[in-house]
Structure formats: C-alpha cells, structure tokens
Amino acid sequence: MRPIRLPEPPGGMETPEIFTGGAATVVVRRAVVLGNGSPGAENQCLGLVRALGLADHLTLYRVTRPQGGINEWLRFLPISLHKLVDQVLRQFFRNTRFAPVVEGRKPYRVPNGGPVGLSSVLEADTKKIVAVARDTFDKEGPTLIVACGWDTISYSSSIRHLASGNVFVIQIQHPRSRLDRFDLVVTPRHDYYALTAGGQQEIPRLFRRWITPQEPPGRNVVLTVGALHQADSAALRLAAIAWHDELAPLPKPLLIVNIGGPTGNCKYGVDLARQLITSVYNVLDSCGTVRVSFSRRTPRKVSDIIFKEFAGHPKIYIWDGEEPNPHMGHLAWADAFVVTADSISMLSEACSTGKPVYVIGTEYCKWKFSAFHKTLRERGVVRPFTGLEDISNSWSYPPLNDAIEVATRVREVIAERGWSVG
C-alpha cells in the first residue's frame, strides 16, 4: 500500500508516522548473492532475485578456491581448510624447484561478473557482509542472502548465525545436512529421490544410512521441478529485441540444439554425438534453420565430431563460442529445442518457454536424473528426440515457472517474520 502523504502542517509540525508510512512493515529492498563461480549456480540465485524484484539492488560476492598446481587435487577439502593448506604449502615450498607444482596460478582470483551480467564481483567476506547488514539495518532494512553451491554453505550459514535478526538466508541446492541453518532451502524434487520406493531399491540396505537426505523435506524446504534461471518473460522480450536482426529473418521453423556434457549420473561420449547427428539429418526436411550451441562442459571429442559433420551445411549454423552468446536470443526466437539429457539447467530454461522441447540421451541417465526426466515427461513438457519428428508440427504445455513459485513461497515466509519484499 502506498503511504498517504498530506500537505505539511503549519508551524513546522512533523507529520505523524501513521501518515508517512513510518509504522509500515519492515521491507527487504536489497539482496546479496553468494556464488561459487559456476554460471549454472549463480544464475539460479540471480533468477530468484529477479523473480523477487530485487535485481537492481543486489551485490554479488564470490567464494573462490585456490587454483592451479596441486590445488586441483585438494578440491575435496572444505574451502577454509583448502585455503589454509594452500597458504602453508606456498610458504614451505617458496623459492624451491617445487614452487611451480604447488602454486600454479594466482591463489585467489575473483573473475568479473561477465557470465552473470554484472560489471564486478567481490571476494566473499562473512564478517564484512554481516557488518554491513547490521550497521545499515535501521536505514536500509533487512538483507536477503541467496547462495548456491557447496562452497557457499559455510558462508551463508555463518551469516545467518551471526546476523539472524538482520538477514533472511536462502540456500539453493540441497546442503545435505542441518537444514535448520538456513531460513529456506530451495532444491529440486529429485534431490529426494533416495527416499522414494525406486530410490530405496537402488541403494543396498548397508549404504542407505549414508545417502542423503535422510528425512522428507521439512517446512523450510521449497521443492522445484528443475533449476532456477534468469530466462523470465521480461528477459526474453529484451533478448527478442536484441537478436531480432540476426534471428528473425532466418527460415522457419528454427530448431535450437543445445549440447551439454557428460556427468556422473549421465555418462556418454561420441556415441551420443553420432546419434544426434543422425537424428538431426532425419528432421532437416521439416526445419527451416538449425542452430547448434555447446556448453562449457561439452567434451572436445563431442564438439569436434559435430563440427566436422555439420560445417558448411547451408541449413545448420554452429556457434563458435565467441561473444556475444546467442543463448537468450535462441530461447526467445526458437520454434523448438533439442537438449541433451545431462543439462538440468538448459532443460529448465527451454521448458519455461512453453515451446516444444525434445530430449536426447535419457537412456544414459540414472539415479535422480532419471527421476527428473520422468517428471518432465509426466507433465508433458518434453518428448524424446528420435529423428522421426516433424519440427513444423508445434505443441505446447504450461511452462515451468519454478522461480515465480519459489518467490511466492519466499514472500509468504518473510511475511511470517513481519517483513515484506519491496
């Protein structure tokens, strides 16, 4: 509700608080994002911040690990211990012939915010974030903390512990244990696959106690279908304008092929590349244009075989990885998508458009990835890509709106505290 503002009374009397909004609900007007350098993780945070209307009032901090040299073998360590070990090794082996092996590149590098659309990124500092949240609370109100990624857990939980009355902390992706360290945990429904009947059958009884999560989601857990992202309707409208001159004139229908990379739960190699090539050739007659994009995870052997096969084909364009990245333009202008089954992020973005989405490679997926694909099929938002499709035959479905649904839940929980999001 907008505050009622009356004309200033004579004699310099102050306007009562009831008319100026001074007694209004405490409003969250700013956000801090804790990222780990992974665009997939940071985009989830930024997608939620956008859905809450705080995209113009956020600061991005990044948790960075020592890199290069022996550090690539120490990434299993908790980040604080990793940094300590790195410092000790650098001191011990300084000015020795083993220094290049130990040091590699600069230990702490905070890259700019290019991949997530911000001009600068700050090194994550728990004490600084807590101090700012406390010192500016009376003037600026509470701070929304949104974090994603394993390395951010210790930072976000510490911030909540030290400044619980000044912040509201959301951890995206399941933190595996002690969910009460956060005000809200946002995680895909398939992270709880281990508790389902199918999941229990796949886990030997001896190992079940070691597989997380151990308990059903509590009240502070918000379940999503897929991953959060920034590809909302406003972003797609802007992308449609930005990419109009390049994509609008292309012969229709426009088929976008997004290729990810194998993961522990979705392993494949050149066999999937060859399968994709055959299927794309089979649907070319029903396509006006095909545009292919690779992700950062795409193995060189996969991209090479696709480049070699499609290079020079008049209907097929392959993005070479140079900026600007056409991904948002593709989401805006595509008539249909083909996405490899390994990428939950790319599938979530494509399924938020309401346009046909075909998936290739689900047979290579297992465990919770299989549960994710089953959910998408049951909702009717994806179909398998077999090469028998007529791309000119469009179909639709209710788009996935995970970010909007999570934002609604966030507002409800914040309201229980007597705050609101402005």
Report the CATH number that the domain containing residue 330 is assigned in CATH. 3.40.50.2000
DSSP label at 77? S
Sign of the Cα torsion 372, 402, 44, 318 reads positive
SS3 (DSSP) at 225: coil
Looking at the structure of the chain, the number of domains it has is 3
pTM (2 d.p.): 0.86
Question: Rounded mean pLDDT of 234-248?
Answer: 97
**Amino acid 64: pLDDT:** 85
User: pLDDT tier at 188 (50, 70, 90 boundaries)?
Assistant: very high
User: Is there a single domain that holds both residue 32 and residue 180?
Assistant: yes
Q: What is the pLDDT of residues 342-378, one digit of tens each?
A: 999 999 999 999 999 999 999 999 999 999 999 999 9
**Amino acid 95: pLDDT:** 66
**Amino acid 99: pLDDT:** 62
Question: Rounded mean pLDDT of 183-202?
Answer: 94
User: Is there a single domain that holds both residue 180 and residue 204?
Assistant: yes
* Partners of 60 in beta bridges: 33
Percentage of the chain surpassing pLDDT 70? 87
**Amino acid 132: pLDDT:** 96
User: Is there a single domain that holds both residue 219 and residue 284?
Assistant: no
Length of the chain: 422
Q: What is the pLDDT of residues 14-26, one digit of tens each?
A: 434 333 344 457 9
Give helix then strand counts, H and E, for the chain.
Answer: 16, 15
User: pLDDT tier at 9 (50, 70, 90 boundaries)?
Assistant: very low
**Amino acid 115: pLDDT:** 53
Domain that holds residue 171: 17-64+110-225+405-421
User: Is there a single domain that holds both residue 311 and residue 261?
Assistant: yes
In a domain, 11, yes or no: no
User: pLDDT tier at 214 (50, 70, 90 boundaries)?
Assistant: confident
In a domain, 10, yes or no: no
Question: Rounded mean pLDDT of 136-151?
Answer: 96
In a domain, 80, yes or no: yes
- Measured CA distances, 20 to 3, 5, 9, 369 (Å): 6, 6, 13, 52
* Partners of 148 in beta bridges: 172
Question: Rounded mean pLDDT of 149-169?
Answer: 96
In a domain, 295, yes or no: yes
User: Is there a single domain that holds both residue 258 and residue 125?
Assistant: no
43: number of Cβ within 10 Å: 23
User: Is there a single domain that holds both residue 80 and residue 117?
Assistant: no
